[in-house]
Amino acid sequence: MTDLRQTMGAEQQLKSIFKQAQGYAFDYADGAAERSVFPQPEALANLALFDEDMPNTNGDASSILQQLHQYGSPASVAQTGGRYFGFVNGGVIPVTLATKWLTDFWDQNTALQVMSPITSKLEEICEGWLQQLLGLPNTTVAGFVSGTSSAIFCGLAAARLRIYANQGWDFNARGHNGAPSIRIIAGRHTHGAVVKAIALLGFGLDNIEWVEGDDQGRIDPTFMPTLDDSCIVILQAGNVNSGAFDPFGEICDNANKAGAWVHIDGAFGLWAGGTQRLKYLTQGMDKAHSWSVDGHKTLNTPYDSGILLCRDKEALITALQASGDYLTSSYGEKRDGMMYTPEMSRRARAVELWAALKYLGRSGVDELVFGLHQRAVQFADELRAAGFDILNDVVFNQVIVSPSPEDEITQQILEYIQASGECWVGSSVWQGKKVIRISVCSWVTSEQDISRSALTFVQARDAICAK
């Protein structure tokens, strides 16, 4: 171990491998805008070069980095280049990427304030800024998790604890066995992450009371069942296909009167509340009890940046309890991040979120979020003008395209676009019909990127129809 320690010590001191990695990173960034959006067949085939048995001896750091750049970089998806629209995958604001580099050197574990005072402080700051930006109650606390899937889980765990407590049932002590029933109310277009959380929390998928929606995927309040204090209602800020928002105000008012809990899944759409020009979409969302959102989608922070917001602090920290004789908690005097998340050990992801909010400010968030909407509208307009059917009202950043009434032709056009390397879009099923789904999520995406991508749609349709 002595020789290995000396080798690693020299690498740390000389900084050559860090400079090498920096050079590769800059090389990747410089080519991202014009490279094939999805890896070419040769790049995918070269991934076989990573297949090997576990090495018996130490490797060479420089060679490892070279292998990653030579064969790994070409096999990555260029979602930072401006023409990736396949999933709701954001780009990355430069200052947040630079912040991530710095915090990687910090390598902080953020479970307790005594483990990372700076992270604890910036989590506290972000919590307050999110309250202000999104117009949430000042009692709202934040948990910084890996993504919305985890955030939904936390929100529904807090909801479960509070609903049971209101009925005199201590869930942490007694669990589900013999517990009174809880009703789960959700729209037909609820995201799969919500369904997963419901299953993981033991509610049972067969117990979901599904509510029908309109032609945009919004819950129709007239179909809502009668609510009571055993209900958890799940609403959506941004349908994953159409981008539509549920009518929060009316449903939340009824839920609050009944003593029910409302969780809003807003993975990418909750940020509409941070722009004056789209804020109408989130009207009434402040009346909910918990919210889930990603920084790495609409806000364009680096990946692994989910946020759970909850106005019932006691329910959240009790549901996510953690204890141990060795844990030196500050017991409320300082912010201990693990009290608001399922994990104890976590990286300092909130520092990047702080950098994004500090850099953008209110006006920058408004410009960023509304800009994504503008590019989505442009995409829809150019495709419509070229003869494509647009099946949704483009209220946010999502566009549903129908290039053909025949599913087989739609699939062929989709595959042509994906193979072109010009842009990358995904597929979905909308109202029983196969469609192409566009998500505009990156600050990099320009008007020219949209026009260039729309032309690819036309070329794909012409090529397939010519056959």
* Residue 128 covered by a domain: yes
Report d(CA 351, CA 295) in Å as an integer. Answer: 11
Question: What band does 209 get if pLDDT is binned at 50, 70 and 90?
Answer: very high
Residues forming beta bridges with residue 437, ordered by sequence position: 400, 426
pLDDT at 329: 59
* Residue 272 covered by a domain: yes
Name the token pair of 278.
Answer: 């789209």
409 CB burial (10 A radius; 0-12, 13-18, 19+) = middle
pLDDT digit string, tens, across residues 138-191:
999 999 999 999 999 999 999 999 999 999 999 999 999 999 999 999 999 999
The CA distances from residue 426 to 69, 198, 242, in Å, are: 27, 26, 13
Mean pLDDT of 40-57: 95
Looking at the chain, the whole-number percentage of residues with pLDDT higher than 90 is 93
* Residue 438 covered by a domain: no
Phi first, then psi, for residue 393 (nearest 5°) are -80, 120
Judged against a pLDDT cut of 80, whether residue 133 lies above it is answered with yes
pLDDT at 1: 54
Judged against a pLDDT cut of 90, whether residue 328 lies above it is answered with no
* Residue 428 covered by a domain: no
Is residue 95 within 8 A of residue 235, CB to CB? The reply is: no
Question: Residue 298 is part of which domain span?
Answer: 99-358
Report d(CA 131, CA 160) in Å as an integer. Answer: 23
pLDDT at 330: 56
Mean pLDDT of 81-99: 94
* Residue 263 covered by a domain: yes
* Residue 134 covered by a domain: yes
pLDDT digit string, tens, across residues 362-405:
999 999 999 999 999 999 999 999 999 999 999 999 999 999 99
Number of domains in the chain: 1
pLDDT at 334: 84
pLDDT at 149: 96
pLDDT at 321: 82
Report d(CA 361, CA 345) in Å as an integer. Answer: 30
* Residue 335 covered by a domain: yes
Residues 6+ apart with CB under 8 A from 12: none
pTM score: 0.94
pLDDT digit string, tens, across residues 264-296:
999 999 999 999 999 999 999 999 999 999 999
Question: What band does 323 get if pLDDT is binned at 50, 70 and 90?
Answer: low
pLDDT digit string, tens, across residues 330-364:
556 789 999 999 999 999 999 999 999 999 999 99
Report d(CA 467, CA 463) in Å as an integer. Answer: 7
pLDDT at 332: 60
* Residue 397 covered by a domain: no
- Residue 349 sits in a domain whose CATH number is 3.40.640.10
Pseudo-torsion of CA 87, 242, 444, 411, nearest 10°? 50
The CA distances from residue 108 to 104, 141, 150, 324, in Å, are: 8, 21, 21, 20
Judged against a pLDDT cut of 60, whether residue 325 lies above it is answered with no
Please state whether 211 falls in left (phi above 0), alpha (psi between -120 and 50) or beta.
beta
pLDDT at 327: 54
Residue with tokens 């800024």: 129
